[in-house]
Structure 1
Amino acid sequence: MGRATFVWGSCDCSLVAADWCRTRRGVDPAASLRGRYSTALGAMRHVRRLGGFEAMARGLMAGAGFATTKAPRPGDIGLVTHPVVGPVFAIRCALGWAVKSPEGVAVGDYPAVTAWSV
């Protein structure tokens, strides 16, 4: 996650989180998104088509069988609010939420909108 270059449609915040789920549980919540976009504009089109980022996140995670949690632990996935980009998928770690970005991985105490147990 940290060393891989950010690439829309293969190594962005949504697909890194989905890869984590696939590795940990063998289920890919973003299977329907893979290969569907390759630019920020393309990603945003899919987000809009799926009702916005929160609706998309909730739909993908519920559709893959992940239960929400009010007490995320390291290894869980969350939809958090990044102060610059807004809603993003993140992985909970001991230091906060880890978010894949074009600059690498940002770790912070971002407010969680919702989270799922992985």
Structure 2
Amino acid sequence: MRRLDDWKSRLSAYVLACGTRPLEFGVWDCSLFGADGVEAVTGVDIAADFRGRYTTFRGGLRVVRKAGFADHLAVFDHFLGPRIRWMAATPGDLAAVTGEDGSPAVGIVQGAGIYVLAPAGGLTIAPLDAALMAWRVGDV
């Protein structure tokens, strides 16, 4: 998977468009936020087989397990390759932080921060050093 030539502007436009959109599992959740970030950077939709097929976190786990993955993080492992150390993550990469419910939430790296979904809707920024894991998105 390669980064598109205009990935920076595509990713910026995507993040700006997130606005105050509320959480809706299967439509707008942390995994789909990360997958949409991958699509903005590479043009590849790694979540096409999962969109709209669940309405709860547990339902999402059932869907990815039925597809042969241990959890939502394993989907990112499969499509993006081996995890990288958080300090090696650069803008456009993905990282996971501890979500409000204690499970890993996937976000998009931007400098020293990670855009993640805010519980009340829209986005917030977590510090990069809060990352539990990270993935390189495309060839840089």
TM-score, length-normalised on structure 2? 0.66
* Aligned with residue 55 of structure 1, among 71, 74, 81: 74
2:131 — aligned with what?
Answer: 111
Q: Is there any run of 5+ residues in structure 1 with no aligned partner, and where? A: none
Which structure has greater helix proportion?
2
Greater C-alpha radius of gyration:
2
Mark the CA change 1:22 to 1:107 in structure 2 (over 3 Å): closer, same or farther: same
**Identity value in percent:** 31
CA distance in 2, matches of 1:46, 1:60: 16
**Contact 2:93–2:134 (8 Å) recurs in 1:** no
CA distance in 2, matches of 1:21, 1:6: 19
Pairwise CA RMSD: 2.4
What number of residue pairs does the alignment pair up? 114
**Misfit runs of 4+, over 4 Å:** none
More deviation in 48-57 or 5-14?
A: 48-57
Q: Is there any run of 5+ residues in structure 2 with no aligned partner, and where? A: 1-17
1:32 — aligned with what?
Answer: 49
Are residues 1:43 and 2:60 paired?
yes
The one-letter code matched in structure 2 to 1:7 is: E
Give CA-to-partner distance per residue, 1:29-62, whole Å, 9 cap, x none. 1112112112233113234442123323212434
Note the 1:12-91 alignment, pairs <5 A: 12-49=29-66, 50-62=69-81, 68-70=83-85, 71-82=88-99, 84-91=101-108
TM-score, length-normalised on structure 1? 0.76
Note the 1:83-102 alignment, pairs <5 A: 84-102=101-119
**Contact 1:78–1:113 (8 Å) recurs in 2:** yes
